[in-house]
Structure 1
Amino acid sequence: MIKIIECPRDAMQGLSNFIPTQTKIEYLNLLLEVGFDTLDFGSFVSPKAIPQMKDTKEVLAGLNLNKSATKLLAIVVNKRGAEEAAKYDEITYLGFPLSVSETFQQRNTKKSISEAKLMLKDIISICKENNKEPVVYLSMSFGNPYNEDISFDKVLKMALDLKEMGVKIISFADTIGKASVKDIQDLFEKASKILPNTELGVHLHCNPNMAFDLAKASLEAGCLRIDTAIGGLGGCPMAKDDLTGNLATEYLIQALTDLPAFRPSINEDKFQEAVAFQKRYIG
């Protein structure tokens, strides 16, 4: 059975119009009833950098978690954000973006890759002290817009470094939508051989006409942790000026119809409610 990581945080963070806090709370509470494994719900970052997420703490306070088995993930980019997020018992995972692109690491966190790794060590320690699990996103795993020559060998070397640091969940991220079906197959074939005891995931930004094929390719490559966003909304505002949206949850669920053994239990009625809400109030 695969883990669907629904990412309303990534879906909303690049929108220029601020979504009211109560609207976010209503949307996330709907998502909590769907049956996703994890909800990437918010981030503890500077409101100057990501103004859409400035109300993460208020949103968290409004969530109905008592009847949901869905776990919460929050994105952090520094020690201060990790310390703040770790205070909340409701949060299970702290997600950290580490890039294989030096340029993107600077744009995203204003640090070099080596500096970001040192920061990550602090975050891992904070996770251990507070019963949280770190999740590292290897941004730009499938290419970048800066003409940097980055091979899968470099991506896998960084993944091995993360394993040695104690990271048990690594998600290969296609930040700008360059991945092909073959890229996904090749990377996961190599990664599964050298990282047998690591939970490997994929976080794809892609054009809608590629979404179904990439979702199916991820499943067939043995990826059992897939990030999605309803409607394919979102993209990384720190990567480049134009956004490439997320892999749409609808396409992943469609791809799973041919693989019933891998399909998680989803409340279809609540899922359709969430889709309708997203179209009307979010996207």
Structure 2
Amino acid sequence: MDISSRKITVKEVGPRDGLQNESVFVPTADKIAWINQLSRTGVSYIEITSFVHPKWIPALSDAVEVAQGIERAPGVTYGALVPNARGLERALLANIDDAAVFMSASETHNQKNINKSIEDTFPILKETAQAALAAQKTVRGYISTVFGCPYEGNVKIDAVIRVAENLLEMGIQEISLGDTIGIAHPRQVQEVLEVLLKRFPAERLAMHFHNTYGMALANTLVSVEMGISTFDSAVGGLGGCPYAPGASGNMATEDLLYMLHGMGMTTGIESTKMLEAARFLQGKMGKKFSSHQMQIGE
């Protein structure tokens, strides 16, 4: 497949997935200012926060204030993670555009992350998704541990298929396939997508790579070559999962843009503005980000 001139959608998840595991609380005003900068980069989707109970994710305890305080740019979809119908009620009051529900392909990680079995999670997500759709919102679904689980190791593809089929039957428009602990490599990504793309259209799938072993960009390239055109990433390579010990951050947005643009693909995002947003947050957090571009200072 000729990938030059392909249009790729990059979904910025830094304000949620990037910050959720941080021990230092980023002040609400700084979060709002950062998201406003991201809105001016040309990105079409920003996941701005999480409406999981603040007790579980204190770094995002200001979800309502952030969602209500940002300046909304035309053409940008503002999404948030929602765990259940109660979380969705708060999200709707804060006027989010897109609700992201989440669960795992592996039983143990689902129990650790959601405190429920996979089977018991389905009706909760169905109720949440249908309520969001009734409120005229779009819904995407995250599947964690697609390429491996920190507790169970290898995850069978049949488990991923089962979860994906259930989510799509709920009316969810897009499935984001998560390499939660960042262990996937290009051959594994190819093998998994060869199976999934026989069952699900490429336009219904997104990829969400973490970079624990430095494989995120390579895995992205394989995914693009196989027809995937939507990818989640986080400014600076921020992120990690509180229920995935050892997991490092997300694929860095600025590194992803460098690769995509350098290979002739288009995203609609201005790389220089994305780097400015990264530098702004790095200064506020007082730590060096892990992305290659932030390391070399360009």
TM-score by length of 2: 0.88
1:1-283 alignment, distance < 5 Å:
1-8=7-14, 9-65=16-72, 67-89=73-95, 91-196=96-201, 199-207=204-212, 209-240=214-245, 242-260=246-264, 262-282=265-285, 283=287
SS in 2 for 1:86: helix
Q: Distance in 1 between matches of 2:213 and 2:172?
A: 31
The residue type equivalent to 1:44 in the other structure is: F
5+ residue gaps, structure 1:
none
> Residue 241 of structure 2 contacts residue 247 of structure 2 at CA under 8 Å; is this kept in 1?
yes
Offset of 1:197 from its aligned partner? Answer: 7.2
Structure 1 residues 249 and 199: alpha-carbon distance in aligned structure 2, compared to 1, 3 A threshold: same
1:26 maps to amino acid = A
**Deviation of the 1:7 alpha carbon:** 0.9
Using the TM superposition, give the Cα deviation of residue 42 of structure 1 relative to its aligned residue in structure 2, in angstroms.
Answer: 0.1
Task: Specify the alignment match of 2:4 in structure 1.
Answer: none
Residue 75 of structure 1 deviates from its aligned partner by 0.3
- Identity rate of aligned residues, in percent? 35
The amino acid that maps onto 1:279 is Q
Q: How many residues align?
A: 279
Letter matched to residue 71 of structure 2: N
Q: CA RMSD in A?
A: 1.7
Q: What does residue 292 of structure 2 align with? A: none
Cα distance in 1 between the residues matched to 2:249 and 2:27 = 21
* 1:165 positional shift: 2.4
| Distance in 1, Cα, partners of 2:125 & 2:203 | 17
**CA distance in structure 1 between the aligned counterparts of 2:276 and 2:154, rounded to whole angstroms:** 43
Q: Could you tell me how far apart the structure 2 residues matched to 1:198 and 1:154 are?
A: 21
How many Å separate the matches in 2 of 1:46 and 1:245? 22
Q: Distance between the aligned counterparts of 2:177 and 2:271, measured in 1?
A: 28
Report how far residue 223 of structure 1 moved. 1.4
Superposed CA deviations along residues 216-236 of structure 1, whole A, max 9, x for unmatched, are 222222211100011111111
**Aligned 8 A contact 2:182 2:216 in 1:** no
Q: TM-score, normalized by length of structure 1?
A: 0.93
How far is the alpha carbon of 1:258 from its aligned partner?
4.6
Measured in 2, the distance between the counterparts of 1:19 and 1:253 equals 25
